[in-house]
Amino acid sequence: MTAFNADWSLMTPEIVLAILALTVFTVDFTTGIRGKKPFIGTLSVISLLITIVLVVIFNQNTGSIGDMFVVDPFAMLFKIVILIGVALVILTSMSYMDKHQDMYQGEMYSLLLFAALGAMLMVSSADLITLFVGLELLSISSYCLAGFRKNQAKSTEAALKYVVLGGTASAFILYGMSFMYGLTGSTSLVDIGTAMPMLYAEYQFLVIMSLFFMIAGFGFKISVVPFHMWAPDVYEGAPTPITGFLTAVSKIAGFAILIRILAVGFGAIYHEWYFIIAVIAALTMIIGNTVALVQSNIKRLMAYSGIAQAGYLLIPLAASLSFNITMSMIVYYAFAYVFMTLGAFAIISYVTEDANNEDISSFAGLYKRSPFLAHSMTVFLVSMAGLPITAGFVGKVYIFLGLMTSQMIWLAVIMIVTSTISFFYYFTIIKQMYMREPSEEGSMLKAPTSISLIVTISLIGTFGLALFANMLTNYMNGLNWIIL
């Protein structure tokens, strides 16, 4: 195959998003440096909606450009999750920017669009080089976004820690990839997967080393234990909408590529890595939920909550189930996770900015100040905790039943216990909203249009996924997930 006969139409959504991201950056540059520019945020959201439509249109049929770029149901659904997540983050940022006129709006939106582009390239990658290009595009954009409030010491500290530790994680990933390239002479995951039984028989130590280095590197990107120590500090220092982006969208993209690497590249030696993933999932759920109990800063609490949620997302990979069922579990929970997390972060952003305080006490009396926000926040929190009639509950039940089917009773017990622990810190926030009086200077809160829109969309997603869970899971179970 040459560049002239490759089916470049498969990359139409990525090409269009790249053009639109450059357009947003150019429009911002030519309309002044600072000041209110709501049209830039609106243009960015429209760009993402256009890309979602193109993904649905052009990713209906499977195909590939060599073994480098693949379009399949796996890539299509993860791209939709990522694009919806970034659109919700930009809507949250529009309200946030109104109170921070010192920030460069167009640059933030452009970086978010480029981060979405990098994530899309990642989930369609079937080659280590393409994968790494997408990973670094996402990572570099995230580093810049974490330190976007450069006049704040916490934001600068967050960016510095993220760059140093993120660079180290990227080095681990590259080192693990180098083993595979050295053994096979190819960067194609298909070639690596085909050769894996022979490689494992002859070079067992090198294969395991490669696997460990890549799990460690991607473990940092998705903030699972013991590679999670950067997350609370970075999440606390980053602008609140960006914290939501790192917690939900960036994490989901990291999960997607880790799944493709393990399923395609190392699928033949599943027996060697499934227990490692199970142990990491167990430690992630235990430490994430227990450390969250003692947090008073709402962003640090949500950081540890996000770490715990990563453990739940890892569980299906460790269960010995059919690949279709495993993937439908992960994708369903990914959709639920994006809606409930970004809905919560939209409210957190607005409430903490109004109070000029990121402590949990900033939610005191929210029920009296804004019943809509208080009720909505309650829905998102109980969904994250896994209580009935929400998408989070259905997702956890689905994962739990999968564990029982695979006879991993010990992991199912840990999942139940840690989910129970999470009730305590989620209900701490609920108690503040309904059982505490607002501060004397607290006034009625009227959410801006962008926040109300995000919260409404997230509520529809959280309840809708639960209502149509059976239909959605049946559809996903019938997909031919990875085409290579």
pLDDT of amino acid 316: 87
| Model pLDDT, residue 441 | 61
Q: Which residues of 382-408 are buried (b: 16+ CB within 10 A; e: fewer)?
A: bbbbbbeebbbbbbbebbbebbeebeb
Rg of the chain (C-alpha set):
22
Phi, psi torsion values for 283, nearest 5 degrees? -65, -40
Q: Are 482 and 72 in contact (CB under 8 A)?
A: yes
Provide the angle, in degrees to the nearest 10, between the axes of the packed helices 469-477 and 449-467: 70
Tokens (6 digits) for 391: 């998408």
Written as six digits, the tokens of 374 are: 């208080």
Peptide bond between residue 226 and the one before it cis (omega within 30 degrees of 0): yes
Q: What is the pLDDT along the chain (484 residues), one digit of tens a residue?
A: 555 566 777 888 999 999 999 988 888 777 765 556 667 888 889 999 999 999 988 877 777 777 788 888 888 899 999 999 999 999 988 887 777 666 666 788 889 999 999 999 999 888 899 899 999 999 999 998 888 877 777 888 888 888 888 889 999 999 999 999 999 988 888 889 889 999 998 999 999 999 999 999 999 988 898 888 888 888 888 888 898 899 888 889 988 888 889 888 888 888 888 889 999 999 999 999 999 999 888 989 999 999 999 999 888 888 866 677 788 888 899 999 999 999 999 999 888 888 888 888 888 888 888 889 999 999 999 999 888 889 989 999 888 888 888 878 898 899 999 999 999 999 999 998 888 887 766 577 788 888 889 999 999 999 999 999 888 888 888 777 665 5
Given its phi and psi angles, is residue 66 left (phi above 0), alpha (psi -120 to 50 degrees) or beta? Answer: left
Enumerate the domain spans of the chain.
8-477
Give the chain's largest Cα–Cα span. 71
The three-state secondary structure class of 479 is coil
Length of the chain (residues): 484
- Cβ burial of 470 (10 Å; 0-12, 13-18, 19+) is exposed
**Residue 480 — left, alpha, or beta (φ > 0 → left; ψ -120 to 50 → alpha)?**
beta
> Cβ-count burial of 19 within 10 angstroms (0-12 exposed, 13-18 middle, 19+ buried)?
exposed
Rounded distance between C-alpha atoms, residue 291 and residue 304, angstroms: 7
The terminus-to-terminus CA distance of the chain in angstroms comes to: 16
Residue-level pLDDT at 99: 72
Interatomic CA distance for residues 70 and 10, integer angstroms: 8
DSSP state at residue 124: T
Q: Extract the runs of DSSP E, i.e. beta strands, from 233-350.
A: none
pLDDT of 230: 87
> What ranges in 406-444 are assigned the alpha helix state H?
409-435
